């Protein structure tokens, strides 16, 4: 699984959707890199610049912007998440 793209979550401490996204990934045995935008204003600016969104979580698989928690779940239900995580998408 070392060839799998890195999952990056832009989060804040008090965001219930951030917690839900982490629980969703944990239940699937996935690891991620968490970038806290509530403690680092520069990271928040970078997230907004990269995504065009101000809400969290913002989720990336490799360089692919998945979106927020609901986008992650929708991608999974559509069968696209595993392919993205396998590097096939």
The confidence band for 59, taking pLDDT boundaries of 50, 70 and 90, is very high
The parent domain of residue 33 ranges over 7-85
List beta partners, residue 13. none
Percentage, residues of the chain above pLDDT 90: 91
Q: Given a cut of 60, is residue 1 above it in pLDDT?
A: no
Residue 45, domain CATH: 3.40.30.10
Question: Residue 4's pLDDT is what?
Answer: 85
Asked if residue 70 is part of any domain, the answer here is: yes
Domain count, the chain: 1
Asked if residue 65 is part of any domain, the answer here is: yes
The predicted model scores a pTM of: 0.93
Asked if residue 40 is part of any domain, the answer here is: yes
Could you give the CA distance from residue 50 to residue 66 in angstroms, rounded to a whole number?
12
Contact 9, 22 (CB under 8 A): yes
Asked if residue 1 is part of any domain, the answer here is: no
Asked if residue 47 is part of any domain, the answer here is: yes
Question: Residue 2's pLDDT is what?
Answer: 55
Task: Give the chain's mean pLDDT.
Answer: 94
The confidence band for 63, taking pLDDT boundaries of 50, 70 and 90, is very high
């Amino acid at each position: 699984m070392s060839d799998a793209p890195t999952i990056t979550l832009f989060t804040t401490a008090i965001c219930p959707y951030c917690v839900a996204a982490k629980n969703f990934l944990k239940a699937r045995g996935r690891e991620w890199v968490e970038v806290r935008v509530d403690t680092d204003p520069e990271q928040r600016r970078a997230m907004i610049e990269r995504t065009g969104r101000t809400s969290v979580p913002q989720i990336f698989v490799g360089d692919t912007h998945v979106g927020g928690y609901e986008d992650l779940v929708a991608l999974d239900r559509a069968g696209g998440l595993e392919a993205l995580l396998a590097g096939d998408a």
